[in-house]
Homo-oligomer: A and B are copies of this chain.
Amino acid sequence: MPDAEGHPAPEDMELGKIFAALADPLRRKVVLTLLQEDGETPRACGTFGMPVAKATRTHHFRVLREAGLIFQVDRGNGRLSSLRRAELDQRFPGLLDLLMHEGAREAAKTEANKTAAAET
């Protein structure tokens, strides 16, 4: 049963919704950013550099929230998002590690490309 803001309880999270949410590269990047920043400091929705309109951003964050990936708290002006790390590790063990692994892999690949370009 989700709460008033639409956050599902861990036992109500569905793997299908999690996968569907993470299938989109923009949303995956948001989760990865939160994951890598490691900070418990939540970030404002607008600070992720998503190259889309405001309305679209709201849509993506809703998908992430309703899947159970992020927790959003209303701070009057602005809304802060944080990763539901502990609950996700408990409910879907290995999921966040998988994302982290892939993030590192892509970073390495990008770095390799830059190096190759510099050597041209």
Closest Cβ of chain B to A33, distance in Å, is 15
The reply to whether B22 and A19 form a contact with Cβ atoms under 8 Å apart is yes
What bracket does the count of chain A residues touching chain B fall in? 10 to 19
Given A16-B23, A16-B28, A19-B22, A95-B98 contact (CB < 8 Å): yes
Residue of B nearest to A103 (CB): B15
Point out the residues of chain B lying under 8 angstroms from A23, CB to CB.
Answer: 16, 19-20, 23
Instruction: Decide if A6 is an interface residue (CB 8 Å cutoff).
Output: no
Which B residues are in CB contact (< 8 Å) with A22? Answer: 15, 19
Cβ–Cβ < 8 Å partners of A28 in chain B: 15-16, 19
> Shortest CB–CB separation between residue A12 and chain B, in angstroms?
12
